[in-house]
Amino acid sequence: MDRRAILGGIAVATAIGATQDAAAQQGGKTYVLVHGAYGGGWIWRDVAAGLRRMGHAVITPTQTGLGDRSHLMARQITVETHIQDVANAIEAEELRDIILVGHSYGGMAVTGVADRMTDRIRHIVYLDALIPENGDTAFTILPAGMADQRRQVAREQGGGVSLPVPGPEAFPIPAGPAKDWFLRRLRPHPIGTYESPVRLGKPAGAGLPVTYVSYTNPALASIEPSRQRARAKPGWTFRELPVPHDVEIPMPETVVELLAGIG
């Protein structure tokens, strides 16, 4: 690796660590925001900016095969890859006392990371997200029949390697420049992450404080089994918001306010 790249990486990690320290000294919090299927760390642009303006530290890792890492797309990418992506970002930047946030498919990685790095996490927030238990795959916790439909589309349009990006109608947010920006950046999602099981040593949530936020306008069918699982979890806080599944795009201030209020 080029020496300048190494020094640049060290500088970035040092800057992020310093930002977390400064935020903590000012009463700020540290957020790790994990995106969902087809997305990338970019999806949190406006949410992250809003939280930083409030004095909080924020990182937004991109999972392998997506966003600016879409060139790494491969059949071998699994949910374990995505768990490691997030865990390695936390480890490399020496973060602690984290509010760990997962949106949609991002709940898979968040659950795995919380299981392994429990002592570093202050609170888990699932934003209309999937919740796996030990041995679950993303496909097994979708509503009946949905996994077969997605596998067929992956075979016919994704070469058996990826889930193609759905059409605009699959993302019920208002038409306009924000949605156009969102749709331009979506990329196919590695199907191996939906087929591979999450391995957990503890029940989902790892005994930590958990807030689950269900988005209900409209309620995305693929998330319903996980919503029901969250409702049944003793000790979890369950909330509903009348917003669309990808609310962080048209109304980032709603997500900023929600996350800033998490202890």
Beta-bridge partners for 30:
57, 98
Calpha distance 39→104 (Å, rounded): 10
Report pLDDT digits (tens) over 146-181. 999 999 999 999 999 999 999 999 999 999 999 999
Mean pLDDT of 14-38: 76
**239 φ, ψ to 5°?**
-130, 155
Report how far Cα 40 is from the mean position of its chain's Cα atoms. 9
Q: Which of 70, 104, 162, 226 is catalytic?
A: 104
Residue showing tokens 């909080």 = 56
**What's the chain's average pLDDT?**
93
Query: Does residue 226 carry a catalytic annotation?
Result: no
What is the SS3 assignment for 93? coil
Report pLDDT digits (tens) over 72-85. 999 999 999 999 99
Report pLDDT digits (tens) over 27-70. 799 999 999 999 999 999 999 999 999 999 999 999 999 999 99
Calpha distance 263→254 (Å, rounded): 17
Q: Are strands 98-103 and 30-34 parallel, antiparallel or unpaired?
A: parallel
What pLDDT is stored for residue 17 in this prediction? 54
Eight-class DSSP state of 224: H
Eight-class DSSP state of 69: G
What pLDDT is stored for residue 2 in this prediction? 47
pTM as predicted: 0.91
Torsion sign across C-alpha atoms 214, 215, 219, 221? negative
Mean pLDDT of 98-105: 98
Mean pLDDT of 17-36: 77
- Cβ neighbour number for residue 216 with a 10 Å cutoff: 15
Greater confidence (16 vs 120) lies with 120
Among 103, 112, 261, 113, smallest CA distance to 182 is for 103
Structural domains of the chain in order of their starting residue, each with its CATH number: 3-260 (3.40.50.1820)
Is residue 119 packed enough to be buried (19+ CB in 10 Å), middle (13-18) or exposed (0-12)?
exposed
Percentage of the residues of the chain whose pLDDT score is greater than 90? 89
What is the SS3 assignment for 12? helix
What pLDDT is stored for residue 27 in this prediction? 79
Report pLDDT digits (tens) over 179-238. 999 999 999 999 999 999 999 999 999 999 999 999 999 999 999 999 999 999 999 999
Report pLDDT digits (tens) over 176-190. 999 999 999 999 999
What pLDDT is stored for residue 26 in this prediction? 66
Instruction: Report yes or no: 236 and 212 within 8 Å, Cβ to Cβ.
Output: yes
Helix (H) / strand (E) element for 62: namely none
Provide the residue type at 229 as one letter: R
Instruction: Report yes or no: 239 and 227 within 8 Å, Cβ to Cβ.
Output: no
